[in-house]
Structure 1
């Protein structure tokens, strides 16, 4: 019996009797055979159907009006010899049946024994299909014997190509897995370094702030020299943490359209003095270079950083080449540091030095990894390049050959349309009160009491009235008690409510209060989600010079203090 769900058997039935046709169909249906019967009566209809050769079996009566079964058999053997032909007749004698079999009929069934018909049909179809398969196999064997050498060669070539493709896929998978591991490693190290930088910036804020306070009280020269050394060490520590923030892509950038050719050309004297007289400098600058959208100050540091690395890799008489070019990249990156497809303004720094071995190349962007002697480098140079390029929206590629030299290419996003640079706001004298009479009131919120003490001391000495809070929740409670505050100075990273969460509550309940974020690092994506999160409302720790006082004065000078009785309804809250 056929399997459940099998395709129906297509039957071409040559039968002039309606009654016999119905009886035959009923017998087959009772047997459970899935079938489709195409019945024909005339010679023309039969010949046309047989010529299409789309049936699985032909069932034919032997005696037909103006037509006979043997003629139908001859037509079938000529037009569709692969289709089995079975006579179903009530008048077919034994002699006639033998004659029909000799002329190519597959079998015969008398109408008195229609119960045999399902088995005959299944057997005939199976034998026909086996015959076709056998003949195909025989033909295939003949073809194989005729062209065995050719087929073996072709198969060998196919196997070689398949093996090559497989090896390529294995290599590509290993490359992708390696790039993914590298990206994950750099991301994990970036998260670690950003946290370390934040903690160090808090410590440096306390150290640098108290050095500044001590300098005012110390009078003897020896103590002043010691304080100078301490301040210099703190500044070096601040530069190191800035490099860590650059690697972890958490530094504060101010991207503007930059003409890299002008930047490189203006650095020639600085680069030459940094190289000394032992290294020759060459510049290859593309005339129609696209402007790049980058932080102008940071790109100068990156070029200088790469030039110094190149100098250290070269002996006396080496050549440093700085090149710029427009680059259109279509291929996907193969390493974590490489840029995605797009249009870039590229600046490359190349040397004729020792090159980078593969085992070193795999780690050059990791912070603190260096092949230099102790004291000759921090291992943060290329890490800073990596972080800057990625945060800017580009990437880095290194081409190197051991014993011949290295080229570091920094890809920076192209500016398609010139962006007008905003006019620089005039600096406000940091210690000048915003208005006469009552000085502005500041709320200083920081969970680190030592950092908070430095901030409050500096701003208190600048003439402001100071209130303090050691957490975000404490700040909210203080404002609920008295909302007469001009400016809230918020630490970004605090346990419980962070600075952004505190600022969101303040903006909702006390919109007249201005906001300034103070941070060792800041998630600028989070800051951008609130109105008070612009770059002019963020200051980095440790403070440099009078940046803190100047930024506070700038914010408080933006608009006059509102009448809190009108804003808060006299109750200190909305």
Structure 2
């Protein structure tokens, strides 16, 4: 065999190598084409796409993946999938996932991924088995479903909230009044559990709309109840910032108690001391009338209260308000029925007493008259004088009882005159009747506190004296051997009705109080103490059971009211008599009206009660001032805009509309130097203090007198 020349063999090898290179190049072109085609496919796939090997090293991505993850493409290609999902993915997971993958079937799950900036989002991940360059890889297609999950959660929460509202509303349908408290407690438990709060609560206002009581609460496990410690609280002092929101009928949402402003440090410290980190409160009202508020506390964590939670509280508050109002209406109806029944009973007993008194008068004529005639004929040393005197004294006591019976039967028919209650009290304390009581109860101490500026009343002196005598007699026996009796008088102005044993209407009154520190009247007897013949005292010296019935009837004839409070520390009878401004006589050292007179200065009177405006204007006109009157704060502000005045006489409590403090605040913005005097029938409240801080000069308590008004106006105008 002839060997080829070396150069031919070299040429052949070169040609063969060129063919192999050409073949390899074509294969590489095909591979590049496939990779480019794969990249094109990846770019057009929905969601973010990552191709990684079984160890988790990222091999390919699309632009969406880089955008969603927040990394540049070159950075992602140097990372592992564990870097993007460190909480749920480990390298060992890769092999386990590969074993679960089957051709044509994807593995789907939800995962929490981390962006470059550290934010997390929820993604739905679809894993598919694939090959790249002949090697097994995993194709991961992910979708950001955070917003979807949020909306789904809102829909689920809304559905749950609607179910909850429906359940709470249904709970009170047909619920009897005596089970409403239990229904409210159940509603608070449902709301507390749903909202994730640690405490849910309801506070209700008392009639004065200043004092609140925590009437209902629910506490999560491990949270101590606080309801019993949160009663009889003046909201403006206890929670001033909350009070300002409630007054404006606004929601109070405080995610972080620490964020309360410095001026509310007392409120902040109180909440922190009770472990409250976050709170939300929603007003409860009926027809724009505030009755209380419902709210939530979070103690274990700070919590932002969503609009949905606030809406839930609002809806629940409406339901609870209606239930509470229904119970109040039913209770009021029951009380009215009881009062009507009591009134009819008193009337029937009065008629009975009248009939008995008529018959007794005929019998007593002989018992009282004949002993007197017999005594005239008997010698002074006769042994019969003592027993006949005993008969006569007994007859006279019986006559006094008959007079009480007639008072109950007919009412008081004596003529009335202008009286000063202090004078009657002092006269009684110097009387033989009182001395006799002191003999029976020598250890009793009697203390008086009589208002030196007490107004007069229009009444019957003999019957008013009878009231004082009966109340002091009862108190003496109740106080036992070494107790104390307090007799108190004062002027009192009520700008709204007061509920008590009787409902006292608004107006100006003299208050007579007789209190003792005895063991008190049992609760079951309170409703019956004014009935004729009702007594639980010792028959004989202690009386007949007519004393308080006489008090009641005399008071009704004087258009007055009575309130009775009693507990284990004693009993207090408060009697309200309408005042009269007619004087019985001039004061001992009155100030001359000329000393109090003005020089025609214009004074604006602001009061929502017509009679009070008339009284104030009459006093001011008599003092030589020019008086203008308006009935509300809004009208006062409008008047001041156009008409300057030297002084404002400003009532603090006006309904409806803005109160005196808000009125003065608005006026000061118009006329910064405006002078004012505050007038109120209430004690000096926070609102009064705030108004004084705004620049008001003095505070006058109703009812007004000419001298006090004159002095206050003179002083304020001269300031």
Give TM-score scaled by structure 2 length: 0.36
Give TM-score scaled by structure 1 length: 0.44
Higher relative contact order (CA 8 A, sep 6+): 1
